[in-house]
Structure 1
Amino acid sequence: MSSRFLFEDPSPEEAELGDPSEGPSITLAEKGVCEGYEKYGYNGEDFISLDVKQMRYVPHTADAAPIADIWNKRRDRIDFVKHYFTKELPDYLRMAAPYLKTTVFPDVYLLQKNSSSPVVCLATGVNSSAVTMTWRKNGQDLHEDVDEGETVPNGDGTFQKRISLKVETEEWKENQYHCVVQHENWKTMIIKNITEDEIMHNVQTFQWISHCVYDDQKGVCEGYEKYGYNGEDFISLDVNQASYIPHTADAAPIADIWNKRRDRIGLVKHYFTKELPDYLRRAAPYLKTTVFPDVYLLQKNSSSPVVCLATGVNSSAVTMTWRKNEQDLHEDVDEGETVPNGDGTFQKRISLKVETEEWKENHYHCVVQHEKMMIIKSITEDAIKHNLKHRTRVTAIISTIVFLLLLLLLSFLRRLHRGSPKSS
């Protein structure tokens, strides 16, 4: 993986052509050499570019041809640019590298099982979960026939995400379809065009995720193990029951075989209950502790909005979204501000207006994201905490207190009445 540093510098020939639309840009690879280019634009169009390998200027319009010819004859200019790319910039970036922030760009692939299957755009190796992916047709964002997957960890500190598009072969051959990968920390974007050469056909993807949340107070590990096939859930492990659960018909016979292999179950159980807790117990003093917030779903009554509350967040930079069947929702959503709790942590809430029948028939999730952490809370009867229950409990307590006070008052009045002198 090359370490990339983008560097812009004014052209030495600004006086001849005016400001270039794009100055020199270079990539400093691990070998310490510079792979760069130099482009000049005129009125928003490519005008002249430098072929760094051949060290000659290439015109892109008829008007640029005589200027490129003059520049190519000026060997002092060529020698200056060659020295700039092969000596000055590599030396500068070699010295500056320890102080510059390295941007690692992910690998992006276009996958397709067969010609009638959706085209899947996969970005992997992303160093943050805050990555966005979109499909475009002739420069316009697409929303129909698009299915966006969740951002999932790779297990090495990086993430992967995919977005699929249902499109006929004849359609993408007659139009320009692009997969666009963007990140808030990048100053550029990665664009992958659908072409015959770019699409990888008959690709089978098998994924395995092993996850553990270590409770250093109890010294136990709450974990899970998931297997995916071609971007879909295939088999998952119920750690408490020590049993593999199939998620598709094709996975059923494999899960059955794995469940019969008690040696495999024993190894996995030992891994989650003994090995991982022991390792994390020893490693805990050297690891950065991530404090996960508490996330609740609240509702006053069945006709009120469902409120997703995240509290105990150790930073105000938290994002919350509502999703319906894995698609982000924007309508009927009211997002509150992030407010301090007073103990150094923060809380935030986001509400959703949705009918009970609607969320029972679909998958609604509240997604809380912060740095490399993601918490997903699904709307279910068990997950929603109704305030009416708490009110009933409080009312019952108050009623009990009032009843006891009345008993005490009656007892006091009775004693007072017995102790008073009888009238003649």
Structure 2
Amino acid sequence: MHTLLFLLLLAGTQSATARTHSLQYFYTASSHVPNFPEFVYVGLVDEVPISHYDSNTMKTEPKQDWMLKATDSQYWESETQKSLGEQQWFKVNSETLKERFNQTEGVHIIQRMYGCEWDDETGEVKGYDQHGYDGEDFISLDLETETWIAPTPQAVITKLKWDNNKALLANQKNYYTQVCPDWLKKYLEHGKSSLLRTELPSMSLLQKSPSSPVSCHATGFYPDSAMLFWRKDGEEHHEDVYVGEVLPNHDGTFQMSADLQVSSIPPEDWRRYDCVFQLSGVKEDIVKRLDKDSVESNREKPTDVTTIIIVAAVVVLALVLAVTGFIVYRKRNAKCPPSPGKDPNVLKPLNPDGQVSNSPSETSS
């Protein structure tokens, strides 16, 4: 089962020189696992879920819009019936395995992973069928020898039974080498707008501190068949380099990083290094030259501190000038005569007898 989990983690991380497509199905049957369905099935194309069934909903449903458009209601009814049959098959086998391992109650998990891979450049096809129980490999199909491999004594009974069923072996070989790849190509055609798209990443060089490695980070690319590495003088460089795994982004794209330890590299030699990103289906490489000016850091730069000090000084000076100006203004007001709007005597008549002088029209003869 460790092999199963390892394949789950690494599926899709193929060489950028050729794109390998995959059609995979995962089944999980469990007992006494809180808040988890007793049976779950997921179908995936190039690691993208296309169908799903669980024992809670009791329905097989599409997970992509293009999958829904390419099928009809009868197709999903048929898939639901198949899933119900698989659910019952796993339930019976769960009891059988508990007897073989002398188990009674408790948490137990059966898993199956099967499917095929197709290289769109070479045409090479690979099929696989693996079963696991309680986190360990139980039995797997060897298509080359057309026999089953049993790594545990409890699986030998199953191996002998399935090896003797030649008709079943012939049918499985036909499925994994012919039927499965044909369906994979059909799914790729129906979902090509999303499955076969190509998105280039944004790249950046990051460093936390002068003693930290420089991390070349590429994010937003699709598909996940990509390579990221460092070069020195145009040659691939592996010394003091750590390449991380491809990780998914929330929007369906991917990201990865490659770290280069630069503490032993003289500053004048930095420009001899560059980070290279290669994406499957894209001929041109994306290259990021190692240069101190292009490395982003979360350290506080001296120029930033100087700017802050200058801005603060200007603000303080402006405040002092404002206060000083207000004080001067108050003093000047105290010495000047009152304004017309504030002295009531200014509104008194200018003539001693209290009469207002005539207007120009009244003085004319």
**TM-score, with structure 2 as normaliser:** 0.41
> Which protein is bigger by CA-based radius of gyration?
2
* Bigger proportion of residues as strand: 1
Which structure has more relative contact order (CA 8 Å, sep 6+)? It is 2
* Bigger proportion of residues as helix: 2
**TM-score, with structure 1 as normaliser:** 0.36
